């Protein structure tokens, strides 16, 4: 039997990581995540899209500032022999109530300004998702030219039907 020797083993020092530093770091990460989610929730609920009436009221436009235009039907310019028509219903948004009353009285001036543009449209001009936007912008430009800068703030297209 071999002799047993007692070997002296040096003691291993066990250093504990500082639990306080880990706790502070985890608390900071948790607090940051909580603040980010709270900010996201605030942004979501405060910037939700509102119905048109609420948007108009938030911009200072009352329902009295809307001028309803009777439906307009025009022939479209087409190369073939078959006729094409455009039926358009829209609302003019005036800058204030006084301008709205003035626009109602001078509605034939607006219709006269829009007729040449609408009659020159081709059926292909109404294709695509950007067609309504282009037509709306051109109508707004012509309404501004007819009534002066600042009288008309927007054109709201209700129906645009090609037949």
* Residue carrying the six token digits 């109508």: 139
More confident residue, 135 or 60: 135
Residue 34 has pLDDT above 70, yes or no: yes
pLDDT of 18: 66
Domain ranges of the chain: 18-48, 55-162
Beta bridge partners of 92: 67, 155
> Over the stretch 121-162, which tens digit does the pLDDT of each residue have?
888 888 887 888 999 999 999 999 999 898 999 999 998 888
**Stretch among 55-59, 74-78, 114-118 having the lowest mean pLDDT:** 55-59
**Mean pLDDT, residues 21-38:** 80
Question: Is the overall model pTM greater than 0.85, yes or no?
Answer: no
Report d(CA 140, CA 149) in Å as an integer: 11
- Give the chain's mean pLDDT: 81
**Stretch among 57-66, 77-86, 109-118, 144-153 having the lowest mean pLDDT:** 57-66
Tokens standing for 74? 């025009």
Residue 67 has pLDDT above 80, yes or no: yes
CATH classification for the domain delimited by 55-162, as one of 3.30.2420, 1.10.1740, 1.10.287, 3.30.479: 3.30.479
Answer yes or no: are the C-beta atoms of 103 and 110 closer than 8 Å: yes
Report d(CA 82, CA 80) in Å as an integer: 6
pLDDT of 17: 57
66 burial via Cβ count (<10 Å: 0-12, 13-18, 19+): middle
């Amino acid at each position: 039997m071999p002799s047993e020797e007692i070997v002296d083993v040096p003691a291993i020092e066990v250093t504990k990581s500082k639990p306080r530093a880990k706790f502070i770091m985890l608390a900071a990460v948790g607090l940051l995540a909580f603040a980010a989610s709270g900010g996201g929730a605030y942004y979501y609920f405060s910037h939700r899209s509102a119905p048109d009436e609420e948007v108009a009221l938030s911009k200072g436009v009352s329902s009295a500032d809307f001028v309803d235009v009777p439906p307009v039907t025009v022939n479209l310019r087409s190369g073939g022999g078959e006729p094409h028509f455009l039926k358009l219903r829209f609302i003019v948004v005036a800058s204030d109530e006084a301008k709205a009353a003035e626009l109602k009285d001078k509605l034939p001036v607006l219709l006269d300004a829009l007729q040449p543009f609408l009659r020159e449209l081709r059926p292909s001009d109404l294709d695509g998702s950007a067609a309504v936007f282009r037509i709306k912008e051109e109508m707004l430009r012509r309404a501004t030219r007819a009534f002066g800068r600042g009288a008309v703030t927007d054109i709201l297209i209700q129906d645009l039907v090609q037949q």
